[in-house]
Amino acid sequence: MSHDLIRMALEEDIGTGDVTSQYFVLDDRLARAFVTVRKEGVISGMAMAAAVFLEVDPSLVVQVLVADGSKVAPGTMLMKVEGKARSILTAERTALNFLQRLSGVATLTSRYVSLVKHTNAKILDTRKTTPGYRALEKKAVLDGGGVNHRMGLYDRAMVKDNHLVAERGITALQEAIRNLNEEKPQVEVELEADRLEQVEAFLKLEGVDYILLDNMNLTDLREAVAMRDERHRVSFEASGGVNLDTVADIAETGVDFISVGALTHSAPALDIGLDFVVLV
């Protein structure tokens, strides 16, 4: 899938050919280039960036200098590329697009993680990902120290308010959970609650793995967590109203997870560039 994405990205950028390199760079010109980070951050996407260069020209020599998940300072050299100057220039923007985007996700995730490290709460991603990039962006979340939520609609049942409205009440809900547990025991079950009364009711159900506490204030989050005792194996996830200013307070309520859509839908790209040196 990643190679398909690389080929698609190169095709939309190169089209019928890189006319700048073809007409303004000699075909036999060799060069060395360094991919360098301009701003402090956490790196993700090194394999994708390297694969872009090699997809454009398998004869290029690509050396990865920094591993995904590394925290880097401005000026850190991430990758060295040697070979035809034309090839390096043609691949440059697509390689940097992957690396900047994914490192941006990892960097933002690390900021959230650092703000809750004094608690037991884990930072989760969501399904609010760039189409086609989900696996890459979720790996970037891991590189930043976060935790992956479900990959898609297939690996966790997440029953939200619209699903509950369509159902016939708590008895029907328990029956549906039981059927899922029997037929697909590997699939976890999560129920969304926006009121404490719902939390109380959901804790009485069997087969529930997570309760999503949606847009609750801090007082309600604490009360919800306090409802759980040794009889309940359920984990609590907080969602809604989460940002860098609020995440620490939310974590201190005792929730197990905090989901943050901004990790993938609003992460700014990390400033990374390519420093080019002509050899011969």
Check: CB of residue 146 under 8 Å from CB of residue 112.
yes
25-45: per-residue pLDDT in tens?
Answer: 999 999 999 999 999 999 999
Q: Sign of the C-alpha dihedral, residues 102, 106, 111, 115? A: positive
Confidence of residue 278 (pLDDT cuts 50, 70, 90): confident
pLDDT of residue 158: 94
pLDDT value at residue 155 = 93
CA proximity to 102, closest of 76, 149, 70: 70
Mean pLDDT, the chain, whole residue set? 95
The confidence band for 161, taking pLDDT boundaries of 50, 70 and 90, is confident
Task: Give pLDDT, residue 168.
Answer: 65
pLDDT (0 to 100) of residue 279: 81
Chain centroid offset of residue 196 CA = 30
Structural domains for the chain: 2-107+268-278 (3.90.1170.20), 113-265 (3.20.20.70)
Tokens of 117: 């490290």
Give the pLDDT confidence score for residue 93 in this predicted structure.
Answer: 98
d(CA 242, CA 218) in angstroms, rounded, equals 12
Residue 1 scores a pLDDT above 70: no
Share of the chain above pLDDT 70, in %: 97
pLDDT at 13 over 70: yes
Average pLDDT, stretch 91-111? Answer: 98
Q: Identify the residue whose tokens are 């590394």.
A: 70
Q: Are 146 and 170 in contact (CB under 8 A)?
A: no
Structure tokens at 169: 């009440």
User: What residues are labeled active site?
Assistant: 93, 128, 160, 192, 214
User: Which amino acid would we find at residue 7?
Assistant: R
Instruction: Kindly report the pTM of this predicted structure.
Output: 0.95
